[in-house]
A and B are shown apart, each in its own frame.
Chain A
Amino acid sequence: MSNWNWQLDGWIVLTGIFCSVAAALLGNFLVLRRMSMLGDAITHAVLPGLAVAFFVSESRSSLPMFLGAAIVGVLTALFTEWIRRFGRVDEGASMGVVFTSLFALGLVMIVQAADHVDLDPGCVLFGAIEFTPLDTTTIAGIEVPRAVVVLGSVVVINALFVVVFFKELKLSCFDPALATTTGFNASAMHYLLMVLVAVTAVASFESVGNILVVAMFIVPPAAAYMLTDRLGHMIAISVVLAVLSAVLGHVAALEVPGWFGYRSTTTAGMMAVVSGVLLLACALFGPRHGIVTRFVRRRMLALKILADDVVALLYRLQEREDSASADSRTLQSTLLTDSLSMRIVLRWLQRKRQIEVQENEVKLTNAGEDAARQLVRSHRLWEQYLSSHASIDAARLHDKAESFEHFTDRVLRKELDQATGTPTIDPHGKPIPLERSEES
């Protein structure tokens, strides 16, 4: 961090944060409405709007640019919708047709004016966030970069939009038909959103480039979506992630190339990369929907069920001949599992003192016998219940009961017991053990 300079880097990071937050706020709704690619489409399609604005106003002042871009942004959404509806073209394809055509049109127009415009397409794509502190205006006596002012106001507008129309946006995201029937215009919300997307895109890529804004429209909300199921939380998390990616992105842009002996690299690019890394982390380790989390949870459940199966199997063996035991290999082949799982489960059960292992022979302890009895009781009560109340075919009883037994607690067992009239034997003629051994 040797070359960190608050005067410069502070402003750069602030610009990045504003851009990311402005985009992420709207991006939540794009992601939820499955229109993620619309952000990308609009950011490309506004090119002719910028060009026309330039031709008309003959300057690069912001207002005409905003107007031109907003108009073309809405036109993009309109054209896409028309081609989809009237031409019956798939949504993605109609979007592709519209934005590539508009981009090509914009390119032609810009090249026409190439001699007296400094609308560099490279600048539009990659942006020049590093140079934002150089272009300043004075507000209340303080010299502030123009981009910060512009993006700051866009953040305020977007935040107001999201807060004021939160209910409407939520409803039109999840159920546009219901939204229309309750009396507000879902398609008006849609086009308002499109206007803001276009405005945000223009405000952003004037200073920070196209990539960053497209990334921020999609990636932080997508990451937030992996973490939560509530819209309010999702928006809040996406804002936090956007800020994080902006700050870490700039730091990474300064630091990472240094490891390989280079000076800093494009900040906007690194911000996008950092947001991607955050998305990856959320997708892997999200508390409910993460890939790794889900895998671990499933594995734990599988092991717990295997442990249940082991004690239940030992109990059934005991039923046949007193003080029966089995070696782990027999258990493994009977329960159709692999040796690693079996070893883990046996160790776990030993720790819980439900079994004891002597000279490779596995035996139930008293505690284990209690646990096993409850399992077997659940199993046989379920079989009885299913055969008497749900008239399930006898051949299929065992499988059903086998899957229910692991999730049956004492209260449910009591209810089953009452519902089946306190039976003593199950449909296969086996005795149903009592809840506690003392009672027998």
Chain B
Amino acid sequence: MMDKSEKFALGVSSLLLAVFFLAIIYMQVIQNIDVPTCITDVEPFTTDTLFQVGEDEYELHMIARMWAFQPSSVTLPVGSTVHLYVTSIDIIHGFKIENKNVNLMAVPGAINYIPVTFEEEGEYFFACHEFCGAAHHAMAGRIIIADTDETQSAGGQP
């Protein structure tokens, strides 16, 4: 027969695991927070592009290379949802946007995807978080969310 204290420990542990599991389901389904997806069956793009795919929805193809992001500066209106596709044209890089749930690897030969919505105005810095060589520290850029209808992507070209 199981000891009373063991039953207590088992019960509390199981309850906590259930709470954690339900919290993750809530985050994924109700809050719609996605995890990055690796797309391997599409040929990686070699030019960066930004285009509108719907009302307040944009598709951004981001290229990482030694040692810059292309584009390095993107301007979008408040409330934009960006379908972000990231790849690399040389070695493995990282891509992380400050204060957002965006943390991707930029891998040559593969595309990583995540949707991200910018509800608040401001500048969101992004940077490479995978050490990639001598100028790794300079590999950064910014997404500017402004109260405007204009979109712009620039910079980072070799």
A, B from the same assembly: no
